[in-house]
Amino acid sequence: MCVGLPAKILTMKDGMAVVDAHGAKREISAELIEDLEPGDYVMVHAGIAIAKITEEEDD
Amino acid sequence: MDKTVTLAHGAGGKQTNELIDQVFKKHFSNPDLTSDDAAVLSLDTEKIAFTTDGFIVSPQEFPGGNIGKLSICGTVNDLACMGARPRYLSCAFVIEEGYSMEKLERIASAMEKTAAEAGVRIVAGDTKVAGKGQVDGVFITTTGIGTLQEGVRTSGFSARPGDAIIVSGDIGRHGLTILLAREDLGIDAEVTSDCAPLWECVESMLGVTQDIHVIRDATRGGVGTVLYEIAEQSGVGILLDRAKIPVQESVQGVCGMLGLEPLYLACEGRLVVFAPRQYAEKLVEVLHTLKPSAQAAIIGEVTEDQPGRVVVTTEIGAQTLLPPPGGELLPRIC
Amino acid sequence: MIDRIMSKRDKQKAEELNEIRSYDGPPVRIMEVCGTHTHEIFKLGVRQILPPQVTLISGPGCPVCVTPVDYIDKAIYLALEKQVTICTFGDLVRVPGSQGSLANARAKGGKIQIVYSPLDAADYAVEHPEEEVVFLSVGFETTTPASCLAAKRAREAGISNFSLLVANKTMPSAYRALKDSVDVYLYPGHVNAIMGTDTCRELVQEGVSGVVAGFTAEDIIHAMATILKRYAQGEPFFENCYEQVVKPDGSPGARKLMERWMEACDTEWRGLGVIPGSGMRLKEEFRDMDAEIKFAVPKMQGSAPTACRCGEVLQGKCLPTECGLFGKACNPLHPVGACMVSGEGACSAYYNYGSR
């Protein structure tokens, strides 16, 4: 139901972010997640960041 | 000269001549293109290949080419796929009233350059102007004649079990370029059309062996559609290795974003080749020496079982059907 | 970072594939709730490596599949009778209504604009003040925040030519409605990314097991291996196999936004009927952006084709291949039911990937 794509935040301005997913760049809304900054990875769905991707903690 | 094309340019009078002289003759000029009613040509072979194709693309100019380049590539590539050296082309324009003269000239200029690259002459042409809204910018139809090499016989009906399947470069770039230019999806990716004339690639492959069973250019519908056509026509099965299919990273990225299958994105400069296994490496080797086919790869093989089907080996080692072609490409989001 | 995660997971994947293949525990029915899971599971050929006692059921988590026929009829009515510009995800364009699809409406002159994001629809409305723009707002908790953001953006821009045709749905009641047909849920990771994992943990108390899963080959294999390992142990369980994206609390920001703009309502699920409280609608104060009210859309008698068994398919009561229309009258080029038209529907997955 929900095609999502991991992407890296390149720039941020006024709650909007430009993200890069393997060379595909797009402006998305980043206003629903707190404390995002360039270099972070987010899960993108329908033009908004729905989650910040964190590194796995185990091993 | 006027800045835009008007209905008067299509009326057959002085302004028509002006348009022809200043745009088309300027770029297409060659000894076989005369003002007579038809070109008189001589060919030195017994067999010719003959084909025609209409071109409609919106927008008419896109990263990596324009409708002019496309209209030459499409027809010379159709000839090349039959193993025929492209020789002569005709082109017919239907231009929308109000179309920018400057754009039209860029289109004609691209046709000149591409025709030279493909080693083909434009020997006949026609221009019509249609009222505003009756066509979308400009439509071009090209018709081509090519001369067949002795002993070459490629056909979609000739794939045989055991054949290797080669694709001449990374796939899907043209279709994606147009999709990104046309739909207002807000996605920015460094993708340019793969649009290119391919006779040189075919000629160099025929230098390796004349025993090539199938050559198709993957245009509308992409490589996936071509594979299904050939599986059907030849009554064979096709087994692809997903990991071997060359796809540029940014194409993969956009496809991921929009839920699209790169195998179904149009190409305008990619051949799908079926040849006996023993020639496959050598064919790829010669393709690698040419610019449009520098990324050529062996992507699969022809099988006896599952005739008419295209099966993909997936990244977990299972085999699934490639979803059959399904009409208009629509981004899948929710 | 993503590359590093990938390579580490690659090794893990090979081991987990072996664990799945050699599962010798009791029979188990696993429902993948999410359409994107259905699609990926078929694309990867996961079913082929499963032992025979493991059954995968494709659940109701494809918003296109559960959107009732009359919704499409209303969208077409707006496009053709009210001459509004419809902005929609590509997914909905080919879905058949009672009489034709949005693609047919476009051929009749309706203006149908495909968008990647609801925000694009709002932007389109800002840029085209002379047009009335309606966004077809479908989807689950993952997608609903994007619709709310679009409404918010339009409101902030002070425009009055933007509205939503809302058919958003929420998952929890569907989990409960279907729990008797299922032993373990493969939860839709991106819904959990918004909603967190509380509901899943509550369901364990009710004896319903499940794992949250991501969508790559590695994610899905990892989740399947985890399910089989835990199921063989015999106790109801919940595990989050998508921790890098799904936090226990989900996305509080997204939930807050949804609560601001929308409220729960009863809604019809195609094939499942009305599930109380499982729908979303705009709150009273934002009803001027509800396209149904704004354009006084009349009640539609959405008639689904009678021989179509999509409803049973969605509940896991019937395999797509058991439907008399499957592959004959109903195929992806000429879909009869919604499960065939959506690329994520179970019927289309069975057809397209040649499930044998």
B68 to chain A, closest Cα gap in Å: 27
pLDDT tens profile C282-291: 999 999 999 9
C133: which residues sit within 8 A by CB, 6+ positions away?
Answer: C84, C85, C87, C121, C124, C125, C161, C162, C163
**pLDDT at position C314 over 90:** no
Do B198 and B305 belong together in one domain?
yes
Compute the average pLDDT of residues B93-115.
96
Total count of domains within chain A: 1
- pLDDT recorded at residue A59: 39
**pLDDT at position C316 over 80:** no
Report the C-alpha gap between C132 and C288 in whole angstroms: 13
B200 to chain C, closest Cα gap in Å: 36
- Residue of C114, C128, C131 for testing the chain B interface, max B β-carbons within 10 Å: C114
Split at pLDDT 50, 70, 90, the class of A1 is very low
Enclosing domain of residue B89: 7-148
Split at pLDDT 50, 70, 90, the class of C356 is very low
Cβ contact A4–C61 (<8 Å): no
Domains of chain C: 67-170+250-294 (3.40.50.11740)
**Residue A24 falls inside a structural domain:** yes
C14 to chain B, closest Cα gap in Å: 8
CB pairs under 8 A between B and C: 93
Report the C-alpha gap between B265 and B218 in whole angstroms: 9
Q: Choose among A21, A25, A47: nearest Cβ to B256.
A: A21
Q: Choose among A1, A21, A27: nearest Cβ to B257.
A: A21
**Residue A39 falls inside a structural domain:** yes
**Residue B331 falls inside a structural domain:** no
**pLDDT at position C60 over 90:** no
ipTM for the whole complex: 0.92
Helices (H), chain C: 2-21, 35-44, 46-49, 63-66, 69-80, 102-107, 118-127, 144-157, 172-178, 189-195, 198-205, 217-233, 252-261, 291-294, 310-314, 338-341, 346-352
Q: Choose among B323, B330, B331: nearest Cβ to C353.
A: B323
Q: Tell me which of B148, B179, B208 is where a domain ends.
A: B148
Do B180 and B108 belong together in one domain?
no
Report the C-alpha gap between B82 and B77 in whole angstroms: 9
pLDDT tens profile C190-210: 999 999 999 999 999 999 999
Helices (H), chain B: 14-19, 26-28, 67-81, 101-118, 173-182, 199-208, 222-234, 249-258, 280-288
Q: Touching A: which chains, 3+ CB pairs < 8 A?
A: B, C
Do B181 and B271 belong together in one domain?
yes
Q: Tell me which of B87, B117, B148 is where a domain ends.
A: B148
Q: Which two tokens stand for residue C248?
A: 């226990």
Burial of B61 (0-12, 13-18, 19+ CB in 10 A): middle
- Residue of C244, C249, C256, C344 for testing the chain A interface, max A β-carbons within 10 Å: C244
Burial of B134 (0-12, 13-18, 19+ CB in 10 A): exposed
Cβ contact C114–B330 (<8 Å): yes
Q: Which two tokens stand for residue C258?
A: 């949804």
**Residue A58 falls inside a structural domain:** no
Do B131 and B168 belong together in one domain?
no
Enclosing domain of residue A21: 5-53
**Residue A59 falls inside a structural domain:** no
**Residue B330 falls inside a structural domain:** no
Q: Which two tokens stand for residue B324?
A: 């059959």
What is the overall mean pLDDT for chain C? 91
Minimal-distance CA residue of chain A relative to C256: A32
Cβ contact A27–B186 (<8 Å): yes
The better pLDDT of the pair C9, C95 is held by C95
Report the C-alpha gap between C36 and B1 in whole angstroms: 56
**Residue A28 falls inside a structural domain:** yes
Q: Tell me which of B148, B178, B201 is where a domain ends.
A: B148
Do B121 and B73 belong together in one domain?
yes
Do B183 and B276 belong together in one domain?
yes
Q: Choose among B314, B326, B331: nearest Cβ to C90.
A: B331
Chain C residues within an 8 Å CB radius of B183? 114
Contact C47, C255 (CB under 8 A): no
Do B180 and B300 belong together in one domain?
yes
Report pTM: 0.88
- Residue of C2, C91, C355 for testing the chain B interface, max B β-carbons within 10 Å: C91
Question: What's the CATH code of the domain at B177?
Answer: 3.90.650.10
| CA neighbor of B57 nearest in space, from B132, B114, B137 | B137
> For the ranges B212-216, B245-249, C33-37, which has the lowest average pLDDT?
C33-37
Cβ contact C35–A51 (<8 Å): no
Cβ contact A25–B332 (<8 Å): no
Total count of domains within chain B: 2
**3-class SS shares of chain B: helix, strand, coil, % to 5:** 35, 25, 40
> For the ranges B116-120, B196-200, C16-20, C300-304, which has the lowest average pLDDT?
C300-304
**Residue A12 falls inside a structural domain:** yes
Do B119 and B188 belong together in one domain?
no
C225 touches chain A (CB under 8 A): no
C279 touches chain A (CB under 8 A): no
